[in-house]
Structure 1
Amino acid sequence: MSLLGSAALAMWWDMAPEMKSEFEDWHSHEHFPERLGVPGFRRASRWTSATGDEGIFVLYELESYAVLSSDAYVSHLNTPTPWSARMMPHHRNMVRSQCHVLESSGSSAARHALTFRVSPLQDRDKDLREFFRTLCVDLVQRPGIVGAHLLRHQTPPIAETTEQRIRNSADRVADWVFVALGYEAPVLESLADADLAATALQASGAAEGAISGLYSLSHSATSEEFGQR
């Protein structure tokens, strides 16, 4: 697989403009090193909305799905630093999906990320996965695109955490997550009107209501960069 591991944590939320500068300082200089210090966290990448709104997209690449319920990770979720505790309430409209990697082709970090949050229709899981499998292989050969990845959410067996309580709202989840990465934003945008148009998704087994977003890279780092293995 091209992602660094067989699991991933994909998250979306809104961050108010007046908090963005401090948020990025905290996220890059405290939160990324902390998370990448957890055994099994391999790469962290953050993108911000490419369309000027308040959206944030973060992807953590994980060695295995078991990392999401490991003692080391859960301990961090339940003992946030003072700075983390101050920032958590500003993570609004949180969508947080703990995922198995189903398909992965090409690179996992690039200038732009196009994300789709979808759900399969009943009994159409295999059809939808085959659609995305074929698309992942095809997309990485196209000019302007360098990576394509399909993830599936599964809730890990852990109790509500301190960080969730500080955010004071229930985290939503994305059932399946598709991420396309590239260096040409218009090429990625065109996918939403062609390969990933609502009619194409639904014909391939997706339910109505897919949510898409285009983001620009803010920071990406690996565990090795912070002295972790």
Structure 2
Amino acid sequence: MIAWHDVEEGREAEYLDWHSHEHMKERLAIPGFLQGRRYSVVGSGPQFLILYTVMNPDVFTSQTYLERLNHPSDWTQRVMPALRNMNRSLCRVAASSGFGAGGCLQTIRFSPELGREAHLRGALTSEAQSLTHQRGVCAAHLLIADKDRSKAPTRETALRTGPDAVANWVLLVEGYDEAVVAQDRSGLLEQSGAGPDIIGDFYRMDHICF
């Protein structure tokens, strides 16, 4: 699961405490959840980026996970209405290379041009492998969202101020050299078959939990 969002002005400290001291612990207690991360934006873009890694996509439709979403804690009920501009995307990992988690991360959201999906996927699979041999990069991943699963209504989603957006394809580049990780890769994506609406954002890690 990858999510980008803002937080109501003046409630950032409360949000950070809730996310670190309750939300990540709560999620990682659910069978199949392996890792949680939170990042803060550098420059413009959504304020926060959240990543949860699970064993397989079926974890997101498991009874335990849905039970948690439909019975949010008192603290969650107070914080959720403060979240703004939520993009919450449940994804399959289409390609992955490298290992470990970098202290900085670039997320690139895009959609494939019609008829060029296979070519784009192959090009980005090769690019992910190439990126992890570069100085300053430790891992790269291609994610493809499941829009139906991402849009399933729950009590927790109803607490937010508007409907969640869902990404289509996402390229993640993470590492330890900010200049290398943050490089503009939109030209490569366009040449390989991505549409013109490419959104790149850059983040630094706040908290990682296993």
Please list the CA deviations of residues 150-179 of structure 1 after superposition, one character each: whole Å capped at 9, or x if unmatched: 110112288411111110311101101111
C-alpha RMSD over aligned residues = 1.5
- Whether contact under 8 Å (2:35, 2:208) holds in the other structure is yes
Distance apart, 1:16 and its partner CA: 3.6
Q: Counterpart of 1:38?
A: 30
The number of equivalent residue pairs is: 209
- Which one-letter code corresponds to 2:36 in the other structure? A
| Percent identity for Structure 1 against Structure 2 | 34
Corresponding letter in the other structure for 1:60: Y
**Out of 168, 190, 201, which is 1:202 matched to?**
190
Aligned equivalent of 1:73: 65
1:165-224 deviations in Å (ceiling 9; x for gaps): 11031110110111100111111122x1xxx12x321221111111110000000011xx
Query: Which residue does 2:154 correspond to in 1?
Result: 161
Native 8 Å contact 1:107 1:181 kept in 2 = no
Equivalent position of 2:204 in the other structure: 216
* Structure 2 residue ranges without an equivalent (≥5): none
Give the TM-score of the pair, scaled to structure 1.
0.87
CA 93–209 in structure 1, closer or farther in 2 if over 3 Å, else same: same
Q: Which runs of 5+ in 1 are unaligned?
A: 1-8, 223-229
Query: Matches of residues 14-163 of structure 1 in structure 2 within 5 Å?
Result: 14-51=6-43, 55-154=47-146, 155-156=148-149, 159-163=152-156
Q: Which amino acid aligns with 1:205?
A: G
1:101/1:152 contact within 8 Å kept: yes
Q: Which runs of 4+ in 1 moved over 6 A?
A: none
Distance 1:189 1:157, change over 3 A: closer
98-107 vs 151-160, which moves further: 151-160
Q: Secondary structure at the match of 2:122?
A: helix
- Partners in 2 of 1:28 and 1:207 — Cα distance? 36
